[in-house]
Amino acid sequence: MPRDLGEISREPSTHTALPKVADIKSSGRTLAYDLMSYYKGNLSGQTPGILPGPPPAGDYYWWEAGALWGTMMDYWHYTGDATYNDVVSQAMLFQVGPNANYMPPNVTASLGNDDQGFWGMSAMLAAEVNFPNPPADKPQWLALAQAVFNTQASPERHDSTCGGGLRWQIPFANAGYNYKNSIANGIFFNLGARLARYTGNTTYSDWAVKTWNWINEVGYMTPEYQIYDGAHVETNCTDINKAQFSYNNGVFIQGAAHMWNHTQDPIWKTRVDGLLNATLNTFFPQSIAFEIACETGMTCTTDMLSFKGYVHRWLVNVAQLCPWTRQTIMATLQTSAAAAVQTCTGGSDGRTCGFQWHMKAFDNSVGAGQQMDVLAAVSSLLIDGAAPPLTNATGGTSVGNANAGEGSDTLLGKPAPVTAAEKAGAAFLTLLVMACATGVFAWMSFGV
């Protein structure tokens, strides 16, 4: 059990001075410990790598565990605390699947391009922060990220409907196969941008540009950089669901920041600036993270309850890669983190975190996503002591394989014509998403 929570303080005369590093690390240790209490995969008889689920067996789908391990890698990177590194490595390697491309057969029934992509982004992060490399006889982090990218770049996943783009689901039998959405394509763009910067291979950046252009051409991203959820192939992607989720903005701005840092092309600076303005204006009212699609009426799904942490983590990367954004981003994230930790007054020990950060009080909304959000917000404040994402030319040590994953996609087949029942089911899913759119921790107050 970690030591008692200590005080995070801030000088009252400024809104930009960060809390003391030692206090942030102390708080991070406690938050990490409490977050990892949701993970049972390292216990006897349990499955390594996953959070309890998927529903109805537990609250969490497979993808969220992949996001958890990325959060824990960032926690190690920012704090230096290696307590959980072995657990993270075991989890990441256990779930690679028989073809080492993060497509394990036991999750096929809910396997989307975004689900696979979240694990790929965590593998990419492991390469970028020099997370301890796996044994030589195991898949390596960079090769795993490349395998995910290569399977998603396969021609079978980019059909001509809607002029291109990835579908939400991978197997054609899955509900949602007829939906093309921003998060699946945003993750593919993100991976392409990061692999291009890390390896220098233009194949990745070419795909990133192509995906960016498609998202804009199909109308999922507006000229004001608002990003909508997606649309159905039956309408040629014209029935756009205009729900906005923070992780869509986050995944695109992180990718755009890598593209600017890699190419120094002014067009990517313009795009970073546009996305940053839209992200802060839409999802950080009063500089506090707010999930607009669901938080007002608290109709958030378990998935949505984890988005705030990803956006905090990815915006820190933007600040590292695009120096002109740093002051604005860190001032916002500091205020947001200050509000976040003030929700951590629940549970029998008075340190379980809630979700509605703008309330600055515990709201009885608890879970792995809520705890992960606050850990990400707190540990990300340690940007000054952390190196920006590495490349293979600046100290990255992960071994890659440009051909990893090619020809290994065994889930696709020729889909049958869409039936009226399936169309009705897709319409129901769209309506459901639209419906969603309509003591001890007092020491952690930063004085906001």
Task: pLDDT tens for the chain, 448 residues: list them.
Answer: 333 333 332 333 334 456 689 999 999 999 999 999 999 999 999 999 999 999 999 999 999 999 999 999 999 999 999 999 999 999 999 999 999 999 999 999 999 999 999 999 999 999 999 999 999 999 999 999 999 999 999 999 999 999 999 999 999 999 999 999 999 999 999 999 999 999 999 999 999 999 999 999 999 999 999 999 999 999 999 999 999 999 999 999 999 999 999 999 999 999 999 999 999 999 999 999 999 999 999 999 999 999 999 999 999 999 999 999 999 999 999 999 999 999 999 998 889 999 999 999 999 999 999 999 999 999 999 999 999 999 999 999 999 999 999 887 866 544 444 444 444 444 444 444 444 433 333 333 333 3
Query: Which pLDDT score is estimated for 18?
Result: 60
The answer to whether the pTM exceeds 0.85 is yes
* Selection from 407, 415, 406, 405 nearest residue 171 by Cα: 415
* Selection from 8, 17, 28 nearest residue 379 by Cα: 28
* Selection from 204, 216, 215 nearest residue 166 by Cα: 215
231 CB contacts (<8 Å, ≥6 apart)?
162, 179, 180, 181, 218, 220, 237, 238, 239, 240, 241
> Residue 80 and residue 379: Cα distance in Å, rounded?
11
238 CB contacts (<8 Å, ≥6 apart)?
231
Beta bridge partners of 346: 352
The alpha carbons of the chain give a radius of gyration, in whole angstroms, of 21
Query: Which pLDDT score is estimated for 20?
Result: 87
* Selection from 412, 407, 408 nearest residue 173 by Cα: 412
Query: Which pLDDT score is estimated for 69?
Result: 98
Cα–Cα distance list, 27 to 287, 342, 369 (Å): 21, 12, 17
Query: Which pLDDT score is estimated for 201?
Result: 97
Q: Are 182 and 256 in contact (CB under 8 A)?
A: no
Domains with residue ranges and CATH for the chain: 21-444 (1.50.10.20)
Query: Which pLDDT score is estimated for 442?
Result: 32
Query: Which pLDDT score is estimated for 268?
Result: 98
* Selection from 429, 436, 190, 427 nearest residue 303 by Cα: 436
Query: Which pLDDT score is estimated for 32?
Result: 98
149 CB contacts (<8 Å, ≥6 apart)?
120, 188, 191, 192, 195, 204, 207, 405
Beta bridge partners of 169: 112
